[in-house]
Amino acid sequence: MARCYCHWRRVLFYMCTLCIFLALLLVYITVMLCTVMNKTSTSGTPVHGLDAVHFVAPGSYPKTFWDLHLHGDAFWNRLQRTIDNHFNPILCPNNTKRAFENGTFNESLLTQGFSKVINLDGTSRNLDQMPKQIQDFITHMQRRDYPALLQPDGVCGAGRKEEKEAPLLLLAIKSTEQNFLNRQAVRQTWGQAGWVAGPKRTGNGGEGGGEGGGYVRRVFLLGKGSAEELGGNALQMESKLYGDILQWDFKDTFFNLTLKDVLFWSWFKDSCSRTHFVFKGDDDVFVNTPKIMSYLRDQLKKPHKTLRDFMVGDVIAAAVPHRFSESKYFIPDSFYKGSYPMYAGGGGVVYSGLLAKRLHDISKRLTLFPIDDVYVGMCMVRLNAHPVHHDAFLTFDFSSKEEEEPCSYHTILLVHKRSPGEVVKLWAHVKKTQARCWDVPLRGKQKEEQTGRPSKVSLSKDTTV
Ligand SMILES: *[C@@H]1O[C@H](CO)[C@@H](O)[C@H](O)[C@H]1NC(C)=O
Ligand SMILES: *[C@@H]1O[C@H](CO)[C@@H](O)[C@H](O)[C@H]1NC(C)=O
Ligand SMILES: *[C@@H]1O[C@H](CO)[C@@H](O)[C@H](O)[C@H]1NC(C)=O
């Protein structure tokens, strides 16, 4: 009897020890998880109001991406979640494959998701309270298939008919009907199509196989101007003359800019498949094209895998939507909740042709978002690709002291914002100082090489942003 009692005591003792051990383990795991999550959520400085802080982020993504109901009640998030769930490899293993084989499948998903969300209780009440501009966006956000009204005569924009090699760069410049002077300034200066040499000490570099040069093509991306009397057939004549106008049949408004990306990718895929890189930017920037040529020549030496993901610009991380209604970028939180993904500022960004095609494919499963550069960032997250920051993209201009240095414009790839008159003057200035400044390094280059590479974060493809 005593032995039996003893035996049970021993069993009890072991059980208790085990329980205490398990409890301690649980506490440890919880603490670890909390630490990790806190780290993720505090990485990157949040942006408040207009003071956009731009720097290279270690990667921004929702801290609790496994939470299926994150930011559940905002209109855009709801809409996107219905689509993301369809491509969740665990919930619907067959859909990923189907979507790539069948474009109609994606389209019908978007339509289904839209009618589901719009018919939910409370959605219409919310919609009525949103600003007019957002309401207008929502009314038209399902449509993307706007036909082209004007197209370049060359296969892939204006450029040389007979090139000895594939174009290195396509300049795709967002413009509007009334910005004729901007387009003229770009055509005469940094946007010249044809052979462009890299920076050289003497005169123009020779064509074909020259170090640091390449063929450039050019296209302007336009919607339909609001003022009918301004348009007329002036744009048609301009298109005939220069062959670099790509205009679609939608109203050219700020919230319709995303359509220019989506439709451009589609056109690019059909017309420019050989082009190595794309510059996409505004018509009020100054670009140092020769410097870009030599920079891109260097990138071309990188492995295929790197080029597949290649995007460089002024990277903005952990930005949050503007919540004050006076802002041009105003997004109410009934429309979108959460922070924005890391993105490259829309003033000017360069990406590879390979990436352009992948962006085209992935955009079919991403609900349109009214702010174009943020939308591109959202596409990048789903491709598990990250834009690289480069200090030579000045989408917020020089500091005044820096601009006065004699070779300042040879240290940059892009600067925003410059009037057509300024662009012409700057181009002449850059040509004049070419011999003296041809080998100055790009701005912030050393820094970029040491710290500029954003750390890779692995994300599941179905992340709800
Ligand atoms: C997924 O596809 C496999 C074969 O391709 C099929 O056997 C299976 O029934 C499909 N599952 C669903 C949920 O449709
Ligand atoms: C593509 O998807 C649509 C909608 O799901 C379907 O009706 C159609 O039959 C599919 N086509 C092909 C070729 O699989
Ligand atoms: C976008 O373009 C369409 C087609 O022209 C137009 O009806 C709509 O109002 C525009 N959307 C916005 C938000 O301006």
**R_g over Cα of the chain:** 26
285 three-class SS: strand
Residues 6+ away with beta carbon under 8 Å from 248: 146, 147, 148, 149, 222, 223, 224, 259, 260, 263
**DSSP per-residue codes, 128-180:** HHS-HHHHHHHHHTT---PPEEE--SSTTSBS-SS-SS--SEEEEEE--TT-H
CATH number at residue 249: 3.90.550.50
Q: Is 250 in the pocket of ligand 3 (CB under 6 A)?
A: yes
Tokens of 283: 């018509």
Q: Nearest CA to 218 among 169, 287, 149, 277?
A: 169
Question: Alpha-carbon torsion 419, 425, 428, 432, what sign?
Answer: negative
H-state helical runs in 204-333? 228-231, 234-242, 257-271, 289-300, 304-308
107 and 174 share a domain?
no
Q: Which of 102, 108, 364 to mutate to test the pocket of ligand 2 (most atoms within 8 A of CB)?
A: 102
59 and 24 share a domain?
no
**pLDDT for position 455:** 36
**pLDDT for position 39:** 52
The answer to the question of residue 134 being in a domain is: no
Q: What whole-number distance in Å separates Cα of residue 1 and Cα of residue 91?
A: 57
79 and 27 share a domain?
no
**pLDDT for position 203:** 53
Query: Could you tell me which residues are beta bridge partners of residue 415?
Result: 286, 394
The answer to the question of residue 249 being in a domain is: yes
Q: What is the position in ligand 2's atom list of the atom closest to the CA of 98?
A: 14
Smallest-distance ligand from the CA of 104: 2
The answer to the question of residue 334 being in a domain is: yes
Q: What whole-number distance in Å separates Cα of residue 252 and Cα of residue 439?
A: 41
324 and 280 share a domain?
yes
Domain carrying residue 26: 1-40
**pLDDT for position 388:** 96
58 and 191 share a domain?
no
How many whole angstroms from 104 Cα to the centroid of ligand 2? 6
Q: What is the mean pLDDT of each run of 10 residues along the chain (465 residues)?
A: 70 89 91 69 37 38 49 86 83 75 78 88 84 94 95 89 92 96 98 92 56 91 78 86 96 97 97 96 97 95 95 94 93 93 95 97 94 97 95 90 91 96 97 92 65 37 33
Q: Is 61 in the pocket of ligand 2 (CB under 6 A)?
A: no
Q: Which of 105, 106, 110 to mutate to test the pocket of ligand 2 (most atoms within 8 A of CB)?
A: 105
Backbone angles phi, psi at 158, to 5 degrees: -70, 140
The answer to the question of residue 63 being in a domain is: yes
How many whole angstroms from 92 Cα to the centroid of ligand 1? 9
**pLDDT for position 4:** 60
217 and 304 share a domain?
yes
Q: Which of 141, 253, 263 to mutate to test the pocket of ligand 3 (most atoms within 8 A of CB)?
A: 253
The answer to the question of residue 303 being in a domain is: yes
Tokens of 289: 């094209």
Whose alpha carbon is nearest atom 4 of ligand 3? 250
**pLDDT for position 109:** 85
The answer to the question of residue 196 being in a domain is: yes
Cβ–Cβ < 8 Å for 263, 270: no
Cβ–Cβ < 8 Å for 367, 110: yes
Q: Is 111 in the pocket of ligand 2 (CB under 6 A)?
A: no
**pLDDT for position 458:** 33
The answer to the question of residue 464 being in a domain is: no
**pLDDT for position 342:** 96
Cβ of 361: how many Cβ atoms within 10 Å? Answer: 16
440 three-class SS: coil
Q: Does the bond joining 456 to the residue before it have cis omega, within 30 degrees of 0?
A: no
Q: Is 108 in the pocket of ligand 2 (CB under 6 A)?
A: yes
194 and 267 share a domain?
yes
207 and 67 share a domain?
no
233 and 360 share a domain?
yes
Give how many domains the chain has, as a whole number.
3
How many whole angstroms from 95 Cα to the centroid of ligand 1? 10
How many whole angstroms from 338 Cα to the centroid of ligand 3? 25
The answer to the question of residue 389 being in a domain is: yes
252 and 317 share a domain?
yes
86 and 30 share a domain?
no
113 and 208 share a domain?
no
Q: What whole-number distance in Å separates Cα of residue 93 and Cα of residue 99?
A: 11
